[in-house]
Amino acid sequence: MKRRTLFAAVAIAVATLAAGPVLAADNLKIGLVAPFSGPFADYGKQIEAGIKAYMAQHGNQVAGRKVEIIVKDTGGSGPEAAKRLSQELVSRDKVDFLAGYGLTPEAMATAPIAQQAKTPMIIMNAATVSIPQKSQYIARVSLVTAHSAYYIGKWAAKNNIKKVVTLVADYGPGIDSEAAFKAAFAEGGGQVTESIRTPLNSPDFSPFLQRIKDAKPDAMFVFVPAGEQSIGIMKSYRERGLADAGIKMIGTGDLTDDNVLPAMGDASLGVITAFHYSANHNSPENKTFLQNFAKANPNIARPNFMAVAGYDGMDAIYQVTTKLNGKIEGDKAMEILKGLKIKSPRGPLTIDPEIRDVSQTQYIRRVEKVNGQLYNVEFESFPDVKGALVK
């Protein structure tokens, strides 16, 4: 796994910002651990892009310390690699914060490192509900997959969907989403007739979708990791004729990730999901974010929810560093993170003071064309969603 820093990239993004000389020993070091290669490479790239956007807007110094991002590539869903790289960051690089963690296994494996070192660990994607419970030094600014699954279940039950087959990736967030959807759908009188779990890495969806087509439900609920898998399942959904058979596709927002919607094409039109962010979200904060993202990342067409988490995670780090006058101590940092509020591009965000997890709005969205481009267009919302929802 290679080590690199963002100094060159950030220097370009913040070229107009004056920065005096700062000794390397005085740098505020942030260890960014995520996949930058392999099937989930876009996860790390989007998180990093969001960090660049934040630093382009707010500068590369905070509380008198120059910010240094030390990037570590896990290569995919490798918990042992994430643990080893995080240990190096803590022991050798003496980072002030750990951050990133694209997939649940990476975050789970690293939690003991954060706990032992008393190093604040900012989760910027991994979405299993139990992650913050694994260490008192973890705070999450990204998402809980079960939240989106629960609210799309509520919406489906109220909108004449009676029978559903669920299809989820067989790992933490998929299992969480399956349970949350089932609970909400059943509360509304719906029936899940069958539950299917697929391998995490590069499954062939065709036989699963044929099975769903033969079952003839009103809809299929889907959670798969955003990126290659969401593109693959959308392609198979159309090719296998499920849309023509009248079987609706609903799911969590990973399914229609903003970053891959253009690659899905018109096959995604009409798909309804629940999620906490859309690039089409109408707010001053999002407009500012989109402008800075484009300036800092000219080679990335559109940010997604992972970029927003990188951006907001840096906001949390800058707030903590400012309040501690640049002197980071793990316990003091965590006390500030508890209850921290962020004016996010997604809408209001709070780190819940009791569980150190994200509290935010869930939006129901439909894929539509806006000025000729595909977007998730929000049409209903549920504010202040937090907690496990399903016991």
Q: What pLDDT, on a 0 to 100 scale, did the predictor assign at position 158? A: 97
Residue 313 has pLDDT above 90, yes or no: yes
High-pLDDT (> 70) share of the chain, %: 93
Residue-wise pLDDT for 316-355, tens only, equals: 999 999 999 999 999 999 999 999 999 999 999 999 999 9
What band does 202 get if pLDDT is binned at 50, 70 and 90? low
- Give the integer Cα–Cα distance in Å for 180 and 160: 19
Nearest to 258 by CA among 207, 310, 303, 299: 303
Which class would CATH give 3-143+281-356?
alpha beta
Q: What pLDDT, on a 0 to 100 scale, did the predictor assign at position 6? A: 53
What band does 14 get if pLDDT is binned at 50, 70 and 90? very low
Residue 351, helix vs strand vs coil: strand
Angle between helices 305-323 and 284-296 (to 10 degrees): 100
Q: What pLDDT, on a 0 to 100 scale, did the predictor assign at position 344? A: 98
Greater confidence (78 vs 33) lies with 33
Mean pLDDT of 232-242: 92
What band does 387 get if pLDDT is binned at 50, 70 and 90? confident
What band does 296 get if pLDDT is binned at 50, 70 and 90? very high
Q: What pLDDT, on a 0 to 100 scale, did the predictor assign at position 220? A: 98
- Give the integer Cα–Cα distance in Å for 104 and 101: 7
Residue 163, helix vs strand vs coil: strand
Residue 288 has pLDDT above 70, yes or no: yes
Overall pTM surpassing 0.85 (yes/no):
yes
Strand partners, 196: 167
Chain centroid offset of residue 324 CA: 27
Residue 149, helix vs strand vs coil: helix
Among the four given CATH numbers 3.40.1210.10, 3.40.228.10, 3.40.470.10, 3.40.50.2300, the one describing domain 145-275+362-385? 3.40.50.2300
Residue-wise pLDDT for 260-278, tens only, equals: 999 899 989 999 999 999 9
Residue-wise pLDDT for 357-372, tens only, equals: 999 999 999 999 999 9
Q: Which residues contact 327 (CB under 8 A, 6 or more apart)?
A: none
- 335, with CB counted inside 10 A (0-12, 13-18, 19+), is middle
What band does 77 get if pLDDT is binned at 50, 70 and 90? low
Q: What pLDDT, on a 0 to 100 scale, did the predictor assign at position 9? A: 45
Token duo for residue 214: 């033969």
Nearest to 106 by CA among 130, 79, 131, 87: 79
Residues of CATH 3.40.50.2300 domain(s) within the chain? 3-143+281-356, 145-275+362-385
